[in-house]
Structure 1
Amino acid sequence: MRVGLLSYPMLFQREGGLQVQLRATLDALVQAGVQAELVDPHRHRLDEYDVIHVFSAINGNYRIVETAAEMGVPVVLSALLPPAWDRSSGACARFADRLAGRLTAWNVQTSYAQTKRALQLAQRVIALGTAERTAIVAAFRTDPHKIRVLPNGVDRRFFEADSSLFFRHTGIGGPFVLMAGAISPYKNQLALAQALGSASINVVLAGCAQPQHRDYLRQLLDCPNVHWLGALAHDNPLLASAYAAAAALALPSQGEVFPLVVLEALAAGTPAVMTRASALQLPDSGFALRQLRADDMPAWRAALDGFINCPPERAAVSALVEQFTWRRVAQQLADCYAGLLAEVSENSPALPAERRAV
């Protein structure tokens, strides 16, 4: 079974959760014995593979799914859609798409329509949690029977993270709140930094600001309680150490799908406060994970202050995400690929033998 993984062309021109997810998934699949590789569309045809796994239903990726469908190649699609989508927003998006079409003689198509087409054409759709699954069905009218819920994993090194490197490298003393990830107004770091500044709580940023967000970064650095580590590669030991050193992680963004930074912080034994607009659900996690409205800064400050003054036991925090391993992800994906190929083979008896082989 040869599996090709790909997403939109400019994916690896920046770093973020999707890039980490794709690389980690690929590595885990290879370690599990699956013949998986990144597809280079300039050198490889999609029909050289038994299964195509597309990451993200947006950014024009519907064209990849369409092309694979035209070639008769089964597609698994990791949707990665915000769970804020619901029946009402889906209806509004369909109305806007019809309006745009009529106004332009159907020469303009909305991103909603493109996303919906990708979801319709894919034979399997991966949702990272039940909230995302609900959003995919309610807003995009996707057949629920082809959706599989499969969370992300966490690299084992975050469970073994040690704080000493961070303190030696930075010289920052005392408890602090870590905000890791891209720096932008959507991530909402400034509002929380200002709210924590009034309480004299230190904030450490780890992440990259795109050119259009440099002014936003400057506003953050004007806050006396804010320290910036710069853009840290995901495999930089300083990032794992920062997770372990922090009193808490904060992710106050307007919305997230299934944030890896929260899983990584919890793996390091650090509690987290994050946006409520997310697919992440951890049972019995209230002692170490709070999910709040992005605009309720008094609640954020109270939750973070609580974790700083009364930290939960680190081993218990790590245990919350012990089951989130990339090895488990790879095995479940391999089963998903094999099941899809078996289904295609059963429904298409004339398919060449080499395509049917699993």
Structure 2
Amino acid sequence: MKVGYVSPMSIAAVNGGLRTQALMTTKHITSFGVEAKLISPWDDMKAMNLDLVHVFGASIENVGIVDQVKAMGLPLALSPVFFSNRKAAFIKRALKMERLSSAFGSGIRSDFSVKTELCSKADVVIPNTSAEADLIRDGFSIPNDKIQVVPNGVEQKFAEAQPQLFIDTYGLKDFVLFAGQAGAKRKNVIKLLEVASDLDSPVVVIGSFYKDEYGEKCRTLAEEADNVTLIETLDHDSELFASAYAASSVFVLPSQFETPGIAAMEAALAGSKIVITEKGGTKDYFDGYAEFINPDSSKSLLSGIKKALEKESSDTLKNHIFKNYSWQRVAELTANQYKRILA
């Protein structure tokens, strides 16, 4: 089975979860009878003799390629990588109003409308969490039998991470850690920096801030707190990055939402305790194992971190993630969906 893979061009500039999901899926899916072909804008897709196309991201960048895939008569798998803090009923109403206004020739399309169109054209829609699936079904009115949840995965190498390299390099251990796209407002690092001075533990933020108002405010908060260390983005594949996870006591993702937060899964494999947003489907992966926080509440975040710091270390979450969320398992489940729509 020859499958073409499409991702938005933006992943070339943003090394985030979408890029990781696409690369890890295509890397491991070859073990399950799939010949993976990464499609670039320069390729002649018609000459590739594909059996199926898998698109990552229900974004406006992918509208054109999806139309071409359908025009060629190829089956389409779509990983929307979507979440909204809006309720499904709100999304449904917004789409109805947009359809009504379009009758008067407004020509304006919302992000919800684009995502609905792409999900409607797919033969299978593959969300990462049950919360994402619920929004797609109830907000976009996509038939339930077209939606198949396949979880995100994590590289199992993080289970072997050792703390000493980071301790030797920075002189820090047993700290509260954030690692990721620190400059992205959705990641809500500013909330962590606002409560940092109320913590007795060091706080480490690994990630780059943009040179904008938000980034400047975050840097100022970090400078004002005497227990915060800012570290520019580290190579995700480096031993030092993995060592940071292992050297931390608690890993925090205070994001507005996560689906589900690959960095938290990596940190959990390395033995860190997890504090994570309650929004976006994180409970599919971490329920019963992590402290969940309201990302809009500093009080909730501070309480969650303090509870996690007081917990005894345990391998329970590490073993749970290792057993259930390998990229091999994700690839196998994804390949099964290809076979289903090709049957």
Same fold (TM over 0.5): yes
Pair 307,118 (structure 1): closer, same or farther in 2 beyond 3 Å: same
- Give the gaps of 5 or more residues in structure 1: 343-358
Instruction: State the distance in 2 between where 1:55 and 1:229 align.
Output: 30
Letter in 1 for 2:146: K
Conservation of the 8 A alpha-carbon contact between 1:79 and 1:119 = yes
Pair 28,202 (structure 1): closer, same or farther in 2 beyond 3 Å: same
Match runs of 1:121-270 below 5 Å: 121-173=121-173, 175-183=174-182, 184-212=184-212, 213-222=214-223, 223-270=225-272
Conservation of the 8 A alpha-carbon contact between 1:86 and 1:138 = no
Q: In the alignment, what sits opposite 2:28? A: 28
Identity %: 28
- Give the gaps of 5 or more residues in structure 2: none
SS in 2 for 1:10: helix
Deviations, residues 275-296 of structure 1 (Å, cap 9, x unaligned): 111212247843x302221122
Instruction: State the distance in 2 between where 1:235 and 1:311 align.
Output: 29
Letter in 2 for 1:185: K
Letter in 1 for 2:162: D
Offset of residue 268 of structure 1: 1.3
SS in 1 for 2:321: coil
Instruction: State the distance in 2 between where 1:254 and 1:194 align.
Output: 16
Letter in 2 for 1:25: T
When the two structures are superposed, what TM-score results if normalisation uses the length of structure 1? Answer: 0.88
Instruction: State the distance in 2 between where 1:196 and 1:214 align.
Output: 16
Pair 283,58 (structure 1): closer, same or farther in 2 beyond 3 Å: closer
Deviations, residues 179-203 of structure 1 (Å, cap 9, x unaligned): 1111133221122222131234321
When the two structures are superposed, what TM-score results if normalisation uses the length of structure 2? Answer: 0.92
Equivalent pairs, count? 338
Instruction: State the distance in 1 between where 2:93 and 2:232 align.
Output: 40
Offset of residue 299 of structure 1: 2.3
Offset of residue 97 of structure 1: 2.1
Offset of residue 11 of structure 1: 1.8
Instruction: State the distance in 2 between where 1:197 and 1:226 align.
Output: 8
SS in 2 for 1:264: helix
Conservation of the 8 A alpha-carbon contact between 1:47 and 1:72 = no
Conservation of the 8 A alpha-carbon contact between 2:160 and 2:270 = yes
Instruction: State the distance in 1 between where 2:282 and 2:46 align.
Output: 32
Instruction: State the distance in 2 between where 1:231 and 1:96 align.
Output: 42
SS in 2 for 1:68: helix
Deviations, residues 127-150 of structure 1 (Å, cap 9, x unaligned): 111111111111111111011110
Offset of residue 233 of structure 1: 2.4
Conservation of the 8 A alpha-carbon contact between 1:282 and 1:320 = no
Runs of 4+ in 1 over 6 A off after TM superposition: none
Pair 118,284 (structure 1): closer, same or farther in 2 beyond 3 Å: closer
CA RMSD of aligned residues (A): 2.0
Letter in 1 for 2:270: A
Pair 285,138 (structure 1): closer, same or farther in 2 beyond 3 Å: closer
Conservation of the 8 A alpha-carbon contact between 2:189 and 2:255 = yes
Instruction: State the distance in 1 between where 2:181 and 2:189 align.
Output: 10
Letter in 1 for 2:130: T
Instruction: State the distance in 2 between where 1:211 and 1:76 align.
Output: 37
Instruction: State the distance in 1 between where 2:97 and 2:47 align.
Output: 35
Conservation of the 8 A alpha-carbon contact between 1:204 and 1:226 = yes
Offset of residue 311 of structure 1: 2.6
SS in 1 for 2:148: strand
